[in-house]
Amino acid sequence: MNRGVRAALLLLACAVSGCSNQPQADAGVIVVGIASGPNDLDPRFGTDDASDRMQRLIFDNFMELDEHLRVVPKLADALTHPDPLTYVATVRRGVRFHDGHELTAADVAFTFGQFLDPAFVSPRKGGYQQLESVTATDPYTVVFRLRQPFASFPINLMMPIVEQGAGANLRERPIGTGPYKFVRYRVDDRVELEANADYWGGAPANRGLTIRVVPDDVMRGLELRKGTLDLVVNDTAPDIVSQMREDSRLQVVESPGVDYQYIGINTRDTILSDRRVRQAIACAVDRDAIVKYLRRGLATPAAGMLPELSWAALSGEDAFPYDPRRAQTLLDDAGYTDPDGSGPLTRFRLTLKVSNNEYNRLQSTVIQENLRAVGIDLDVRTYEFATLYADVIAGNFQLFTLQWTSGALADPDILRRVFHCDQAPPAGFNRGRYCNRAVDAALNQADSTEEPEARRKVYEDVQRLVAQDAPYISLWHKTNVAVGQRSLSGITLSPIADFSFLRGVARRASAH
């Protein structure tokens, strides 16, 4: 059954059966629905989206992102850069961990110093390859020394700080400096947190949070209607969001987001190695229609990887807007003429690999029709995510669709990790094995350019070069959306749509 039809039937059943908002056992506790539970609450190891959301409630990052995705202090009070190889941070005073221990430079040095230990295994270690040493020079000063200049290093300081000496038990009983204290985690069911009344940034507006795992998006919508969930952030399907707008008991809050969906291309494939073919595909895909009809407007068409919110984004330029005639001309120029004009025969056949998520299947159908209109036969194959991801890492594909999420897009250095010749897996994320030495030279220049405006111009050059080569076909940047009970106040979404705003969410007095 089509997901939209299934959603409508279930929500209609809810309306017929008289679903109504049901009071929570504790009206001061906000119940939030998520699609999957966290894998690891220890921030040194848990890097999945659900784990990151929980960690941001229990811990505080040393540095954080502002609304333009620039790195600014959080637990750090200030960060200076006296020479190309040195960063000096002062630690915010008066901050305490949940067990009463005061945060000092020793905790910061311990947190980052672990990534320099060859025996320490963590998926975060790749961000610290240029870090030579980290030293607490006094109780509130930390010095970071680099092996070579690396202008993007501060983004790697956006890391939750753990107590000095924290061991493996942190994943079972996380202790941080954040606005909430950990109570319990019932695996695949719920995470329970209580408000930290002594939080250095001010006590939360609620008494605590219950983060409930509800895997099915239709059931999350149903529970919002019933009132057994207070809030869902970015885990509501677009077609369900459109139905939620009609419910007077619910509110829908939107904000510009940064998540990026794209078509990845194997640039070493016999057909796809010709950039004219890649450009033709870019011209053939109707991104506006995908955003309007499939995303229900909850996205913006993307012209490149970096979101408009990024300080380094190349805004207002789209190298290949939707233009089927231009696509046909490019294919003709590449030697792939249409054998029978508007007849049924096609120029060639390609395979697109996608995950078996319902939305991705629907989107792939649109892409399939777009390409057929210019003479390309597209075979769409769906896989479990783990299988798809393994094929992508191995380079076993012609085309695939995946999505980069907010954390990865926080700094333009992601362009190096994705498009530099030397960043093919396992070293980096250049999964399509794209290589342009002019792009490499510009990316290397960006790494060693300290002055912000000069660095931004270099990244603009990188984006123009990459756009012409079309190793990615950009689709859209997500619009963040929260659906919550109208009785709630304080729902505000940051560009990365993390859960940090929850400390300001409260149930209005009349709703108690």
Pairing mode, strands 29-34 and 231-233: parallel
Return the CATH number of the domain spanning residue range 63-167: 3.90.76.10
Domain ranges of the chain: 3-35+179-249+486-511, 63-167, 257-478
Q: Residue 142: is it exposed, middle or buried by C-beta count within 10 angstroms (0-12/13-18/19+)?
A: buried
Pairing mode, strands 299-301 and 472-485: antiparallel
Reading the chain (512 residues) residue by residue, the pLDDT tens digits are 455 555 554 554 454 444 444 444 578 999 999 988 888 899 998 877 888 899 999 999 999 988 778 899 999 999 999 999 999 999 999 999 999 999 999 999 999 999 999 999 887 887 788 899 999 999 999 999 999 988 889 989 999 999 999 999 999 899 999 999 999 999 989 999 999 999 999 999 999 999 999 988 899 999 999 999 999 999 888 989 999 999 999 999 999 998 899 999 999 999 999 999 999 999 999 999 999 999 999 999 999 999 988 889 988 788 899 999 999 999 999 999 998 877 788 999 999 999 887 888 899 999 999 999 999 999 999 998 889 988 998 999 999 999 887 767 878 988 998 999 998 887 778 999 999 999 999 999 998 888 889 999 999 999 999 999 999 999 999 999 999 999 999 999 988 888 999 999 999 876 54
Predicted TM-score (pTM) of the model is 0.81
Measuring CA to CA, how many Å separate 47 from each of 178, 230, 251, 354?
18, 26, 30, 22
Pick the CATH number of 257-478 from 2.130.10.10, 3.10.105.10, 3.30.70.2470, 3.40.1010.10: 3.10.105.10
Residues making up the chain, counted from first to last: 512
Token reading at 97: 């961990």
The architecture that CATH gives domain 3-35+179-249+486-511 is 3-Layer(aba) Sandwich (3.40)
The alpha carbon of residue 385 and the mean position of all alpha carbons in its chain are separated, in whole angstroms, by: 16
Cis, peptide link before residue 495, omega less than 30° from 0: no
**Is there a contact between 38 and 217 (Cβ–Cβ < 8 Å)?**
no
CA distance 361 to 358: 5
Q: How many helices (H) and strands (E) does the chain have?
A: 13, 19
